[in-house]
Amino acid sequence: MFLAFAGGAMAVHILLADDHPLVRRGVRELLELQPGWKVVGEAATGREALEKARLLKPDVVILDISMPELNGLEATREILKAVPKTEVLILSLHESERLVHQVLEAGASGYVLKSDAEGTLVEAVEAVRRHRAFFTSEVASVVLQAYRKGEKSAAPGKHVQSALTPREREIVQLLAEAKSNKEVASALQISLHTVTTHRANIMRKLQVHSVSELVRYAIRNEIVEA
């Protein structure tokens, strides 16, 4: 837990990203009970989280893994590229081995289940701001089991996902969220022709032949929620 120092507490600036306003409000209230901790910004989408992280340069980003426009995994990668000194703490409803593996691969320092957040979130933020990893007990058990089984137990489809570029993964999410090619082009500020080219490459790499198959792929790999 956070300890105040004589003469004042250590300031911790936090960016909170979740697409549910009630969740953000509850987490903010919990965090700001800690002396010196301040939620300096909130975001409702992954892309907004990236933009605010670039602007605010928080010590810690608390990021829901299931975010619209840019999911938590891609947002984590982009935030850490843009603000390398920031630590990312993932919030999730899920504890699958595949998802934990992907979170670690993306560079996040911690993983907290939403069901455990009230009891462990403060401890988790304190750990990651000191550049230490933190996992709730259920997730730690998943990590240990994966370690014992070795790298051969890596997530099914991981090799396919890693074949996609970061831009292609962004486009997969937007298409799976029912965005048209034109809307994707506008969201990413690229040309319609570029979107069409990326889409063709994605279909080829994933060996899918329709948007409905692409949506099923995105749900199966937890890029978007069902």
pLDDT in tens, 63-88: 998 888 888 989 999 999 999 999 99
CB atoms near residue 162 (< 10 Å): 12
**pLDDT tier at 150, thresholds 50, 70, 90:** low
> Taking the model in full, what pTM does it have?
0.67
Pair 120, 136: CB distance under 8 Å: yes
Q: Of 2-16, 25-39, 40-54, 109-123, which range is least confident?
A: 2-16
Pair 24, 42: CB distance under 8 Å: yes
Q: Residue 14: which of 94, 128, 139 has the closest Cα?
A: 128
Q: What is the mean pLDDT of the chain?
A: 82
To which residue do tokens 């120092």 refer? 5
Q: 107: which 2 tokens?
A: 């560079």
pLDDT at 1: 39
Q: Which DSSP helix (H) or strand (E) runs through 62? A: strand 60-64
The string of DSSP letters for 121-163 reads HHHHHHHHHTT--EE-HHHHHHHHHHHHH-GGGPPTTHHHHHH
pLDDT at 140: 64
Q: Residue 180: which of 192, 197, 168 has the closest Cα?
A: 192
pLDDT at 17: 96
- What is the rounded distance in angstroms from the CA atom of residue 16 to the CA atom of residue 31? 10
Q: 45: which 2 tokens?
A: 């989408």
- What is the rounded distance in angstroms from the CA atom of residue 73 to the CA atom of residue 107? 9
**pLDDT tier at 173, thresholds 50, 70, 90:** confident
Domains in the chain: ranges and CATH: 12-149 (3.40.50.2300), 158-220 (1.10.10.10)
